[in-house]
């Protein structure tokens, strides 16, 4: 591809101006200078509009933001302000949502292997319901109820409907061969419904299914909704959640269903299965992906005659693991000139000591690309920061929200002190010529002082 970056890959407020592309009224080159790189930039207006579209399509109290896509206190607060519930998948995500001021009754707890502490915290917080994933989790809830007086837990049961969808095998979660949920095959899910309904430790609220992620065909989402709706009708439960999974365009030319189309398809499928009760969904990627982009600084350009050109940037797989994990594809452009043709083919790579540290395998870039240029990869708002790591001890980037000419840091950049903060320091080595303490001395030195 040699054409300029297409607008449908950019945040909704993106505009070209004298200083290049601006988002939220601020040029990206200015953001790169002010906050450094790598940098995650989110269009706050875009986030809010997508939340509102979801609520308009499905109704109030029928949309839970799947926070695993991107979560910080600012994002949790924004989703709550726009009328969304919060779907969390761990005790850590639950803690962030609570810290953001989201009431427990507006939070749903997921997870295929919740421990005792997570369950206790969820019940103490008064979460809306817990999505139970296995018979072992039922055992755990019933043991806590009997041994510790844990009050009855409102639950939905995660069902594997035998429908798997998504762009990569690793994100197809609804099939029969899945670590998630109770399978419909062999009566396993039916047995789970009976047990939850008869248990004094659980209050059965309904059933839940999620068939996969990055789904670009709404018919696949509808098929999964229809399968779990039939089971919900047969089981006589009152609540039905059909998960998320709606995909986004990562490259020019990809077609994506709208929120309204998704809503119409799953409602039709559920009604066709005889379902007349409440129906809720859990979008994540489709809320945040296009709203965010990553800014990098080009550090080296290596041309290998007859082979390829490598463009190395100051981030990599530590801030975007998806290309290495899922073979995900992205595009790139220069914020200083977003309308420029992109005839140069190059492999955009990170700075990690890893050959697989590839951000874009075959990127289209402007011919005048140079060292020190600011390079942007759009549509990185989902699962970029969420999967970020400190591989090679790189600090994780900052996250900035922009809106109406204002930029605010919502997650600060890590520094080298943060990288050392969790280390347990050992006594310094006195050197080869000094006497060494024996193991008993070291043990004694680590004991707390007594009066």
> Could you list the active site residues?
353
Q: d(Cα 215, Cα 266) in Å, to the nearest integer?
A: 13
Residues with Cβ < 8 Å from 322, sequence gap 6 or more? 328, 383, 384, 387
DSSP assigned state of 61: T
SS3 443: helix
331 contacts: CB under 8 Å, gap ≥ 6? 1, 5, 9, 250, 251, 252, 360, 363, 364, 377, 378
What are phi and psi for residue 406, nearest 5 degrees?
-115, 135
Helix (H) or strand (E) segment spanning residue 96: helix 91-99
Task: Enter the tokens of residue 307.
Answer: 């082979």
Beta bridge partners of 381: none
Cβ neighbors of 348 (< 8 A, separation 6 or more) are 311, 313, 332, 358, 359, 360, 363, 365, 375, 377
Give DSSP secondary structure letters for 254-277.
-----HHHHHHHHHHHHHHTT--S
Question: From CA 91, how far away is CA 107, in angstroms rounded?
Answer: 12
Angle between helices 218-235 and 188-198 (to 10 degrees): 50
């Amino acid at each position: 591809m040699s054409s300029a970056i297409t607008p449908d890959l950019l945040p909704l407020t993106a505009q070209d101006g004298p200083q290049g592309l601006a988002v939220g009224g601020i040029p990206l080159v200015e953001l790169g200078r002010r906050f450094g790189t790598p940098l995650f930039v989110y269009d706050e207006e875009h986030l809010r509009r997508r939340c509102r579209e979801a609520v308009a399509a499905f109704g109030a109290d029928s949309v839970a933001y799947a926070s695993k896509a991107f979560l910080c206190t600012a994002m949790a607060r924004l989703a709550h302000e726009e009328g969304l519930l919060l779907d969390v998948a761990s005790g850590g995500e639950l803690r962030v949502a609570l810290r953001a001021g989201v009431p427990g009754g507006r939070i749903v707890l997921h997870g295929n292997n919740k421990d005792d502490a997570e369950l206790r915290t969820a019940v103490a917080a008064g979460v809306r319901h817990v999505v139970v994933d296995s018979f072992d989790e039922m055992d755990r809830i019933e043991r806590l109820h009997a041994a510790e007086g844990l009050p009855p837990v409102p639950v939905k049961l995660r069902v594997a409907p035998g429908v798997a969808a998504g762009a990569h095998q690793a994100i197809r979660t609804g099939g029969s061969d899945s670590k998630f949920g109770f399978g419909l095959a062999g009566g396993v899910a039916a047995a789970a419904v009976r047990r939850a309904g008869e248990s004094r430790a659980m209050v059965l609220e309904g059933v839940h299914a999620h068939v996969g992620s990055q789904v670009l065909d709404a018919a696949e989402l509808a098929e999964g909704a229809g399968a779990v709706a039939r089971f919900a009708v047969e089981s006589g439960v009152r609540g039905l959640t059909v998960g998320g999974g709606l995909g986004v365009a990562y490259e020019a030319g990809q077609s994506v269903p709208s929120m309204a189309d998704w809503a119409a398809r799953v409602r039709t499928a559920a009604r066709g299965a005889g379902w007349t009760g409440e129906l809720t969904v859990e979008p994540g990627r489709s809320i945040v992906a296009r709203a965010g982009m990553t800014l990098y600084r080009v550090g080296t350009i290596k041309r290998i005659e007859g082979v390829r050109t490598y463009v190395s940037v100051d981030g990599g797989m530590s801030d975007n693991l998806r290309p290495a994990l899922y073979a995900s594809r992205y595009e790139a452009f220069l914020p200083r000139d977003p309308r420029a043709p992109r005839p140069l083919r190059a492999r955009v790579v990170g700075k990690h000591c890893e050959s697989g540290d590839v951000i874009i395998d075959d990127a289209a870039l402007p011919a005048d690309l140079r060292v020190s240029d600011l390079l942007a990869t759009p549509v990185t708002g989902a699962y970029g920061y969420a999967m970020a790591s400190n591989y090679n001890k790189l600090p994780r980037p900052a996250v900035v929200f922009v809106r109406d000419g204002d930029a605010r840091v919502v997650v600060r950049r890590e520094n080298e002190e943060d990288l050392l903060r969790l280390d347990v320091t050992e006594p310094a080595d006195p050197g080869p010529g000094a006497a060494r303490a024996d193991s008993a001395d070291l043990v004694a030195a680590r004991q707390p002082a007594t009066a």
